A and B are shown apart, each in its own frame.
Chain A
Amino acid sequence: MSRRGCGLIGLVVLILFIVGLAGGAIGQGMGIDLLPQVLKVPSLEIESFFSGEAIFWREGFLPITNTLIASWVTILVATLFAFAATRKMKIIPGRLQGLVEMAMEMLINFIESVAGHKNGRRFLPVVATIFIFVMFNAYLALLPIYGPGIHVTLHDKIETRDAGTVVELMVHPIVEKEDEVIAVIQTADGAREEVKSHQTGEIEYIVEEEGRVEAGDTVAVMVGETDNGTAIVAPVAGTVVKLELQRRIEESEQPVAKIDTGTGEPVIVNSPKDKLGELEYDVARGQVVSADDEIAVLTSAPPFLRSASTDINMTLAMALLAVIFIELMGLTGRGFKHYISEYINVGELFRGMKLFFTGKIVDGLMASVTGVINVIIGGLEFISHMTRMVSFAFRLFGNMTAGEILVLSATFLIPWIMAMPFYGLELLIGFIQALIFGGLTLVFASIAVGHGSEEH
């Protein structure tokens, strides 16, 4: 690229950085507020930390979460990628085939260097699958179509236009209408000015009643649409006879439930006006409710796709697979007797007992003590094998979630430019975590197999 081109790109990056710095959270904190509302980067609120949120939901069936859909997408993309690379195989590979061959060769070399040729070939399918799946998950999650598991709320400052004295604060914590009067200010010339909200949401006052304000002072800060959800309450007491089991409310005032009061027509409960989103029921069919009981909670819609590794269920399932694979390899590689003697090691104890009861009391006692220690070690071994599962699951989950939060925080502090180096870091982390997950499975499996052959 020419020097001029580089200079131009550098200039654009610099301008974006300055605008981002001034318009982001740091700039807002310093009192600069030049971005229009639409471009403002929302603040962070962690919504569902450990697992994805259900997108499709029917009573009695497995809920389909956004992380699950993301993992399907990963499988699809990986399969299509492999298919495209191997569809027309040539002796002299093209670019895509060459790339895949190179990657496969590196994987095979890595696995064989750890586990040896014979075992390496046996471990390859599982280890390589784990590696590829984790890496594709991590890389696909960097695409903009993937949403965060962190909830988006809009902070909004409400400012005065004139200096004056605050004469009245409407002390409702929740603003339910746009353009609701939230404060009245008396200016020096006696005119009363109403300060209105721009959006609905929760409100926090900065000024006090009877206090002085200057023009442009912040009266209150609004947190728009906090997603504690809107509760839908029963208008009457009665029995719930029907739940409209729709998961997503896409139009205002949809029927949500039907309550039979026992006298005449059942009462239909509608979702609130102008509120859309996800519905979560708190009652079941046939349950008796009293008036003002909460029937359901309406929260705004979660993102359709979310990085699969940020769901603890996903990583736990993979950890379970890895641990079962490791134990199975230990079992088949060393035979049942050797495998089980690692956990239940009572041989020495029985030998000591035998010696003890046949008269060799001192030798017998010594051997018994060693035997008891062996039994305890066997138990510890079992526990350490099982804790692998937890550490597998939490390592991947923690790294991916931390990465997501890191990118979001960077975007929040200084929009656009600041996030870019962290995307680069995430590319590295995704690769390394895939390597760690696959590599540890490989190492543990080769230890599980290898022990036996050393002892024989």
Chain B
Amino acid sequence: MNAEMIKFLAVGLTGSIGLLGPALGLGLIGYATVTALGRNPEARGAILTNMILVAALTEAVGIYALIVSIILAMVA
């Protein structure tokens, strides 16, 4: 196992493990949104607005992982 291999492993693992959390989070957001919509279809507008806001916040965490792995791939 040489340095190059470890670097690529690090890049891949940063991306994949870092994306586990946001993936789980997005799933939970979708689940909660659909549940809320089922219970209270009139509040569709408010629910969707909040969903998009929170989904983008969650997605940003995945983007952090992406940045870290890109930096690793480029610099390290």
Interface residues of A, Cβ cutoff 8 Å to B? 46, 49, 391, 394-395, 397-399, 401-402, 432-433, 435-436, 439
Contacts and interface: CB of A to CB of B under 8 A. Distances in A.
Contacts of A394: 60, 63-64, 67
Contacts of A402: 63, 66
Nearest to A429: B56
Contact of B64 (A398, A432, A435): A398
B57 interface: yes
Contact of B67 (A401, A433, A436): A401
Max chain B Cβ within 10 angstroms of own Cβ: one of A398, A433, A436, A439: A398
Contacts of A395: 57, 60, 63
B70 A399 contact: no
Interface string B47-76: 000001100110110011011001100100
Given A398-B64, A399-B63, A402-B63, A46 B56 contact: no
A269 B66 CA distance: 43
Contacts of A49: 70-71, 74
A46 B73 CA distance: 10
Given A46-B70, A49-B74, A398 B63 contact: yes
Interface residues of B, number: 13
Interface of B: 52-53, 56-57, 59-60, 63-64, 66-67, 70-71, 74
Contacts of B70: 46, 49
A46 B70 CA distance: 9
A399 B71 CA distance: 15
A399 B67 CA distance: 10
Given A398-B63, A398-B64, A436-B57, 10 more contacts: A46-B70, A394-B63, A398-B66, A399-B56, A399-B59, A399-B63, A432-B56, A435-B56, A436-B56, A439-B53
Contacts of B59: 399
Contacts of A398: 60, 63-64, 66-67
A417 B57 CA distance: 30
A196 B28 CA distance: 58
Contacts of B74: 46, 49
Task: Return the 4 tightest CB-CB contacts between A and B, nearest first.
Answer: A398-B63, A395-B60, A432-B56, A436-B56
A433 B56 contact: yes
Contacts of A432: 52, 56
